[in-house]
Amino acid sequence: MSNAPVITPEQLRVHWQGHRGLTRRVIEAFPEDQVNTFSIGGMRPFGALVQELLAMDIPTMVGITENSWKTSFDRKPQTKAELLAEWDAHTPRIDAYFAKVRPEAWQEVMNAFGYFEGPAINILLYIIDNEVHHRAQGYVYLRALGITPPPFHER
Amino acid sequence: MSNAPVITPEQLRVHWQGHRGLTRRVIEAFPEDQVNTFSIGGMRPFGALVQELLAMDIPTMVGITENSWKTSFDRKPQTKAELLAEWDAHTPRIDAYFAKVRPEAWQEVMNAFGYFEGPAINILLYIIDNEVHHRAQGYVYLRALGITPPPFHER
């Protein structure tokens, strides 16, 4: 097997933080009075989806770094300003945890929250994909509200 | 720098094909008479989004393998059966191209379709993220139609 890396840990960090910057802009684009109420087809409002992301991002980095997997989805609704403030507070913490991950850890099989077992890289990719998935729900909600979402390709 | 891989080419292939399997189940879940017509907020119908994915997947693998980037978005609408047949035809072709990618190519800077310049890995991650993003629009369309979409976590 070649030692040429497919992706480096630093590229993975930048990739995720690029997505997180875009998700932040989608939160910003929501009207305050719709972020916790607007819904289509019985799905959760965007504020609740963002809270799911906030309940998983740091706990995942703690898990990959320390192999200790704990989180709680028992959260109170937050205003748009509170969501943005917590989002921003997580940004440097994610960077700090990335700096602590042992390079070998990405291929170590872990059990994330008793829910998903696989190499750490698969767990983090799931977390990023889940963010892209829920953010895209936010895109549809914004369009349905007559609001142009931020461009998908800008990170 | 450690030589421990963050992800291997084979894991990346399985990751994408897992997403492609889920996207296939979302296509299957659409009623034939809604796949090219149903829309929310002026967005494209799901059939048109799937056609965008079909116009980019093989051309991206050709690009990464041969550094020749050509595609066309000039396509006629397809029935659900035609979309599924083309989707399935692409599956083994993607696998075949994966087997041909030089390991060093993932870190080589390429210009994808004159639109996106970066290491090949970033280009492929963009293609996968774009699929997750558009598929999530499909999830909202299905929910709005009263149809339960396939579980996100099953790949």
Mutate to test the interface with B, among A3, A7, A117, A147 (most CBs of B within 10 A): A7
Topology of domain B16-144, CATH: Four Helix Bundle (Hemerythrin (Met), subunit A) (1.20.120)
Of A103, A107, A132, the CB nearest to B132: A132
Which segments of chain B have a pLDDT < 50? none
pLDDT of residue B2: 67
User: Where residue A113 falls among pLDDT bands split at 50, 70, 90?
Assistant: very high
Kind plus residue range of the DSSP H or E element containing A63: helix A46-66
Kind plus residue range of the DSSP H or E element containing A119: strand A116-119
Kind plus residue range of the DSSP H or E element containing B109: strand B109-112
List residues in chain A touching B: CB distance below 8 A.
1-9, 11-12, 15, 19, 40-43, 103-104, 106-107, 116, 119, 121-122, 125-126, 129-130, 132-137, 139-146, 152-153
ipTM for this prediction: 0.96
The predicted-structure confidence for A15-55, as pLDDT tens digits, reads as follows 999 999 999 999 999 999 999 999 999 999 999 999 999 99
Q: Report domain extents, chain A.
A: 9-144
User: Where residue A2 falls among pLDDT bands split at 50, 70, 90?
Assistant: low
Nearest to B5 by CA among A64, A8, A43, A144: A8
User: Where residue A1 falls among pLDDT bands split at 50, 70, 90?
Assistant: low
| Mean pLDDT score of chain A | 96
The predicted-structure confidence for A86-110, as pLDDT tens digits, reads as follows 999 999 999 999 999 999 999 999 9
User: Where residue A155 falls among pLDDT bands split at 50, 70, 90?
Assistant: confident
The pair of structure tokens assigned to A122 is 């698969």
pLDDT of residue A3: 75
Mean pLDDT over residues A127-137, rounded?
A: 98
pLDDT of residue B3: 76
Beta bridge partners of A117: A111
Nearest to A116 by CA among A49, A73, A64, A48: A64
Mean pLDDT over residues A51-62, rounded?
A: 98
pLDDT of residue B129: 98
Q: For the domain with range A9-144, which CATH number is right: 3.40.50.10210, 1.20.120.450, 3.40.120.10, 2.30.40.10? A: 1.20.120.450
